[in-house]
Chain A
Amino acid sequence: MRRALAALRLDDMRTYAELPRLMTAMTGDEKHGPSATSTLDVLWVLYDQVLRVSPDRLDDPGRDRFLLSKGHGPAAYYAVLAAKGFIPEPWLAGFGSAGSRLGYHPDRNLIPGVEIASGSLGHGLPLGVGLAHGLIARGLLTPRVFVLVGDAELDEGSNAEAIVYAGAVGLANLVVVAVDNQSSSFGWGRGGIEAHFAVSGWSVTRVSGRDHAALAAALSASGSGEGPRLVVAAVEGKAES
């Protein structure tokens, strides 16, 4: 993470550097485990450089849609939403309490800018397929649908239904970013996660999930325009932390 930090532009440094403090406001912990931070850099790069979203256009039909499918361990997500002005910073302190809008899994009906309620694994990508279809059906050809999944989340069979289908129909406005911290018990074998998407017609790429420039380039790439894209964001495994 230190190397990635050094590559940041100065004006971004200020808010990116604040993320640990915002996460501490939620958990009270000074240090954060790898499951809480595996998505941190991906989320930051998405909201800082990739997604065409902002707090003043929450209902804009032309906005990009970001679906956090891996809803577990949302501290990094909430920290980024606070840093980018989607939620007031004081909300963070109540994390998980009865009066808080911020639960251990996020709820779209409680949090501005959150597109889906997640927690149960394997729902974000199939919902994203429908959303991508729906935008096209409405003639909204500019906005893209980004879905963040975890490598172990892909164990859920519902993803297999979505991966084959989305590739077959060529949903070019759909981008999956799979944060790979090698936490799936049985893994993805030779060729990794991307092999499973590639055979279904997805264009795939793998980058460091801590390298902001590489993430930004991979996530912003226009792709072939003929089908959905997968970006595998590799981070350190849980065991290595």
Chain B
Amino acid sequence: MSDMRTVFASAASSVLDEDPLAAVVLAEISADLFAKAAARHPDRVLNVGIREQLMISVGGGLALAGLRPIVHTYAPFLVGRAFEQVKLDLGHQEARAVLVSVGASYDAARAGRTHQAPEDVALIDTVPGFAVQVPGHPDEVAELLRGAMGVLDSGSTYLRLSTESNRSTLPLWPGLQVVRPGRRAVVVAVGPMLSPVLDAVSDLDVTVAYTTTVRPFDGEGLRALAADAADTVVLVEPYLAGTSAYAASAALAGRSAFRLLSIGVGRYELRRYGTPSYHAARYGLDATGIRRSVTDFLGA
């Protein structure tokens, strides 16, 4: 099975072949995966070197020229390093692009903090007009990329790829999708958190709902599911804990009472190397940690 990045490069190359206005902007990362596409479309596959600010601005300029740019690199460089360009050269200009990152929160656990971006979705979420898609399986990537290109006229998309993956894929659905029903709580699993969540709550009487679409957040769907599950909600997100808490709170604000638990990457620096699974365990994002948090929250 190909990983998400390989699937993305293949899908984006096909998009370039089919759509004469599509373009890809790179900053060295993944340039090898786009070599054939660059040979076919030298004017629309641009590698600007190790210049992430320029990469985002070039994406903005291409959009101003009427193109549909895909801009891609490692998450901390795509979102954090060039955030002013994301905010102004895309958001403020109303120049639209599909930003595709790799690396996620701690795919590069061995590389250390410089190559990790648990804050990426929270940052992007401050820029009006961005949808956020977090695939949970490589087989979901091509459809999400094509979907993002299809809605570029109405807004930009941040597509967050990871080497973490669920065991299997589900048919994609724009909002929350019930994987299994229950009565005591709704556990929302975002992207690659579905498999660990299912393992964590296998014997608990809770609804598990899956989504790849983080923004726009499916508040209506959450409200409906929570009404049948004691108005108790657990968000399990593979990035900064609480990133979607305000959206869930807004969705549930009309209820007389609700309970909300946000599970995600902790707001501190681990300062350890190791593997992604080691980091997941340390942040309580493996099945054991999720189970502990959920059972503590629900009570015996």
In Å, the complex CA distance between A132 and B48 comes to: 14
Q: Please state if B65 and A137 are interface contacts (CB–CB under 8 Å).
A: yes
Q: Please state if A126 and B66 are interface contacts (CB–CB under 8 Å).
A: no
In Å, the complex CA distance between A150 and B57 comes to: 19
- Scoring B residues 55 to 92 as 1 if CB is less than 8 Å from chain A, else 0, what string do you get? 00111111111110100000000000000110011001
Q: Please state if A127 and B67 are interface contacts (CB–CB under 8 Å).
A: no
5 contacts between A and B (CB under 8 A): A126-B61, A135-B65, A137-B23, A138-B66, A157-B53
CB distance from A40 to the nearest CB of B (A): 26
In chain B, positions 37-60 with a C-beta closer than 8 Å to chain A are: 43-44, 46, 48-49, 51, 53-54, 57-60
Q: Which residues of B contact A (CB under 8 A)?
A: 21, 23, 25, 43-44, 46, 48-49, 51, 53-54, 57-67, 69, 84-85, 88-89, 92-94
A65-B64, A133-B58, A137-B62 given. 13 additional CB < 8 A pairs?
A: A109-B94, A123-B57, A123-B89, A126-B58, A127-B93, A130-B62, A134-B65, A136-B43, A138-B65, A162-B54, A165-B48, A165-B49, A165-B54
CB neighbours of A231 from chain B (8 A): none
CB distance from A61 to the nearest CB of B (A): 7
Q: Please state if B43 and A127 are interface contacts (CB–CB under 8 Å).
A: no
Q: Please state if B57 and A130 are interface contacts (CB–CB under 8 Å).
A: yes
List the count of A-B residue pairs having beta carbons below 8 Å apart.
94
Q: Please state if B65 and A120 are interface contacts (CB–CB under 8 Å).
A: no
| Interchain CB contact (< 8 A) of A129 among B54, B63, B67, B92 | B54
In chain A, positions 88-133 with a C-beta closer than 8 Å to chain B are: 108-109, 115-117, 120, 123, 126-133
Q: Please state if A115 and B64 are interface contacts (CB–CB under 8 Å).
A: yes
Q: Please state if B93 and A133 are interface contacts (CB–CB under 8 Å).
A: no
Closest to B62 in A: A134
In Å, the complex CA distance between A215 and B49 comes to: 34
In Å, the complex CA distance between A157 and B85 comes to: 13
Centre residue among B21, B63, B65, B89 by max chain A CB count within 10 A: B65
Q: Please state if B61 and A130 are interface contacts (CB–CB under 8 Å).
A: yes
In Å, the complex CA distance between A165 and B92 comes to: 24
Q: Please state if A126 and B53 are interface contacts (CB–CB under 8 Å).
A: yes
| Interchain CB contact (< 8 A) of A133 among B61, B89, B92, B94 | B61
Q: Please state if B65 and A127 are interface contacts (CB–CB under 8 Å).
A: no
Closest to B95 in A: A127
Given the known interface contacts A134-B65, A137-B62, the answer about A126 and B54 at a Cβ–Cβ threshold of 8 Å is yes
Q: A161 at the A/B interface (Cβ < 8 Å)?
A: yes
Q: Please state if A117 and B92 are interface contacts (CB–CB under 8 Å).
A: yes
Q: A158 at the A/B interface (Cβ < 8 Å)?
A: yes
Query: Which A-B residue pairs are the 3 nearest by beta carbons?
Result: A130-B61, A134-B65, A126-B57
Q: Please state if A130 and B65 are interface contacts (CB–CB under 8 Å).
A: yes
Q: Please state if B59 and A130 are interface contacts (CB–CB under 8 Å).
A: yes
Q: Please state if B64 and A126 are interface contacts (CB–CB under 8 Å).
A: no
CB neighbours of B66 from chain A (8 A): 61, 134, 138
CB neighbours of A165 from chain B (8 A): 48-49, 51, 54
